[in-house]
Each structure stands twice: as structure tokens, then as C-alpha cells.
Amino acid sequence: MVAGNWKMNGSIESIKILLDGIKQGLGEVNNAEIIVCPSSIYLGEVHSQIKDTVISLGAQNVSEHASGAFTGEISVKMLKDYNCKYSIIGHSERRTLYSETDQLIAKKFVTLCEAHTIPIFCIGELLDEREAGKTEDIVGRQIDAVLDLADIFAFKNSVIAYEPVWAIGTGKTATPDQAQEVHSFIRKKLSVLDADIGEQVQILYGGSMNASNVAQLLSMPDIDGGLIGGASLKSADFLAICAAANAAAE
Ligand code: PEP
């Protein structure tokens, strides 16, 4: 699975160019699921442009509420109007810049699951947390917030994205071994509660993944794909990552 998080980038014009490039180059990709997550204002536009392609649509966030007086928010029902199969939640930019807490993100997780929309649940540690040896405590705590509100079955068919915050948009990638260690911890944590769910949950790596490091990262046993920021904004770069994911899934 490869998911492109376009963040607050693009315009009607640039999105068309990007999608045309992706659509033209994606021909041979049939093992990996490819997802694009545009800014919410372009969900309708992208939805129309990816009809009849293998590309799936994801949102970058969702409200924990069903509807009502929540100015500026977007409900899961609205996402479903545009056939959004996925929504990113808990991205570190939402956690850090918009003060989203573990508990709020857990509510969003449950809201998505109840509406049969798949969460791409981002978790990860800050640099000082890693340096203090707290990585497992942090990602464990982020997962526990969901388990406190729901149960292990909420993770059935969900996607987790392990994104060390120090690697996002910095050009610093976790080494394959560093990433594998945390992915394995996450899988084991879920497997203790339900072996099947632990086994089948897709765990993506995110943090400066690009065409040159993707193959090595995806060769690790517990890395099932990537959540891509910067490199998802250029069709050639994104396609190279998709092709590597396709080869890894063969
Ligand atoms: C992200 O923001 O989810 C991300 C992984 O960004 P980048 O690939 O640019 O590090």
C-alpha cells in the first residue's frame, strides 16, 4: 500500500497535471493499493478524476462528530459522498500544530470505523522521545488510547502508519532496522490481543520515504507500505515508489 499525503498543497491545475502523470505511469501496478489524499476542498475534483482507475481516495482528517455546529469541520458522511475509502488521522502535524490529543484521535478512529471508512492511523515519537529511549512507550500509549475507547476489533482492516516525527519532511529517514523494530513492536502489541488482527493489520512507514530508500524499507518483514508526503507531489517520484511497492508485493 502506498498513500500520498498531499497536505495543503496543490491547485485545480496542478492536481490535474499530477494525477494525469500518475494515471499514465501506473499501468503495471496491480499488486499494491495506491491512495491519494488531497486537501479536502479537492476531494470532489480528485474523486471525478480517478473514477475508473485503480487509485483510491483518502482524506487527510475527519471530525469526530456526525454533524452539527462545528464550523470548518468535515464529517465522515461527507467523505463517503466522495467515495473516500480512507482517512488519515493523528498525523503529527495535527497532533503538534492543532493540539489533537490521543483521546480525540481515538474518537476519530472509532467514528471512521463505525462508518466503514478505513483509518490510516498515524503514530510516532519525537526526536527527544527517541533519544530518551521512549519510542515504544509513546507509540504504545497512542495505540492504547484507541484500545481504551474501542477494542482490538477496531483494528481489523485498519491501517497504521508509523511516522517518526523527526523523519517527517526532514529528509532524515529511519533506517530500515530502526523502522522494522518499531513495526514489529506494534504488530506484536496487537497480536497479543488478537493474533489474526496483529498479522493482517497493514503497517506503513512514513518519514522522508522516497524512490531511493523505498525498496530497502519495504524489504523489512513488518513494513507493508508507505505514507508519503513530499515525494507524492511529483508524479515521477510517486510512481517510482508505487513501482517498488508493487515489486515488493509480488
Ligand atoms: C507525512 O507527512 O506523512 C510524510 C511522511 O511526509 P514526508 O514524506 O515529506 O516526510
**What's the domain count of the chain?**
1
pLDDT at residue number 30: 82
Tell me: pLDDT of 103 over 80: yes
pLDDT digits (tens, 9 = 90+) for 19-35: 999 999 998 778 899 99
Q: What is the CATH number of the domain that holds 123?
A: 3.20.20.70
Give pLDDT, residue 49: 97
What per-residue confidence (pLDDT) applies to 172?
Answer: 87
Mutate which of 94, 214, 228 for ligand 1 pocket (most atoms within 8 A of beta carbon) = 228
Question: What is the CA(50)–ligand 1 centre distance, in A?
Answer: 22
Cβ(239)–Cβ(19) below 8 Å: no
Full domain range(s) for residue 122: 2-249
CA distances from 186 to 77, 168, 198 (A): 30, 19, 8
Distance CA 8, CA 26 (A): 24
Catalytic: which of 33, 64, 125, 163? 163
Known catalytic residue at 163? yes
Minimal-distance CA residue to ligand 1 atom 4: 229
Q: Residues 138, 139, 144, 147: what is their CA dihedral angle, to the nearest 10 degrees?
A: 160
pLDDT band at 204 (very low <50, low <70, confident <90, very high): very high
Query: How far apart (Å, rounded) are the C-alpha atoms in residues 50 and 249?
Result: 23
Residue ranges around ligand 1 (CB below 6 Å)? 5, 163, 168-169, 206-209, 227-231
Specify whether 91 is catalytic: yes
Place of cell 476531494: 43
Mean pLDDT of 133-139: 98
Mean pLDDT of 143-172: 95
